[in-house]
Amino acid sequence: MTTANRDFVHLMALLRQKGILLLLLSHHLSDVDTRAAQHASALLIKRPGQLALLDRPILRPVLARAARAFAKAPGDPRRLTYFVSGDRETLIETGLPSYWSDGLSRSYATWTPRQRSQDQEASKREEQSEEDARRQAQAEEEQAKAARLHQQRQERGQQWYHRALDDGLSPPLAAQVWTKALSGWTAERLRKLHSACHALVSRGIGAEGLAAFVASRPDDLIVADLRTLAGALSTFRRWKITEESTAAFLQLFFLAPPEALGVLENLDDEKPTWRSLSLASRITRRLSALQEQARIKAMGEALSQLLAYLRRPRLQQPPPMPAPPPKELVPLTTPAGVVEAHVLSRAGGQVLLRLPTGRLLSLTDDGRGRSPPPRGLSLPPD
């Protein structure tokens, strides 16, 4: 900011206007005044060193792009120069001046293919870091945008909710208006929905049925269907349709709007009484057909569930356990009387018995597969 430096910058601008070439050379861009770089017609940058990014902040983006370009370029970097002029930035081949030598400047004397590999790795890490920073900034911007949009929808929904309550709409119907605002409806669409609901409620239409209808219909058909319903009610009043037929029509409309609108076709007669009877008959037939379809659909679903239950893979039952062999009992005479002893085994002409008291007794078999007669057998008491 010295006077001589400012005068030098003014001199650069004057020489540029006069078409006089001024060439400035420096080993480091930090030695070049920022305003001098701004007034220059072109910048010729040789391969930056590792500490080039510590240079002036206004020149760091240019040095970073130059470093990446040199890292990607094949061959000897001493013959390349990064050219910057206006919006154009490119790598050109110029070579070193004829008077250059290692003794004059050793900036390129130690260059090796290994140094190029290191430069490429550093460039890739820098690009990856910049890409990660860009993605993070983009994600944060999207999150902030989504938060702002949600806040705007919340405010719009609260505004239309209280407006619906002030106009006499029921809380369930006002809640549906709020829900549509949160889903992204514009203020114009909300105004149309509010107007259609208010007109129908003022004619005595149940708010609960309207709320259920708004919740179940697609967003692009709600307003049009409600306006059609309002027009149909006006037509019924002009035709002097009975209240019973109107109530049946509303029931049919909330159940299936296309079916309800279909009953209004070809009703061009002139007698209100006949028209009322014809309309009631059509509504009754449509309601009966829809109920029959619903009943058949329910029966089909129940049958499908039954078939799925019958076709389910069943677990194999384990084979039944064999019945235990019957117990063989032998009567024995004891001092306490005749008791039945359980035959445990027969082997080697011996019979192993168990008395009711749990005592084991061994007797000699007669060789014919039967135990000896118990007569005359006397056992001492336990």
pLDDT in tens, 65-113: 888 888 888 777 778 889 998 888 988 887 677 777 766 666 555 555 6
Position 83 scores a pLDDT of: 92
DSSP string, 82-118: EEEETTEEEEEE----TT--TTT--TTTT--HHHHHH
User: Residue 339 in 3-state DSSP?
Assistant: strand
pLDDT value for 214 = 86
Which single residue is written with the structure tokens 């109920």? 291
Q: Which residues of the chain have pLDDT under 70?
A: 1, 29, 50-55, 95, 102-120, 122-123, 261-277, 314-319, 325, 365-382
Domain residue limits, the chain: 3-99+107-111, 240-310, 329-382
Confidence at residue 336, expressed as pLDDT on a 0 to 100 scale:
72
Looking only at Cα atoms, what is the longest distance across the chain? 154
pLDDT for the residue numbered 120: 65
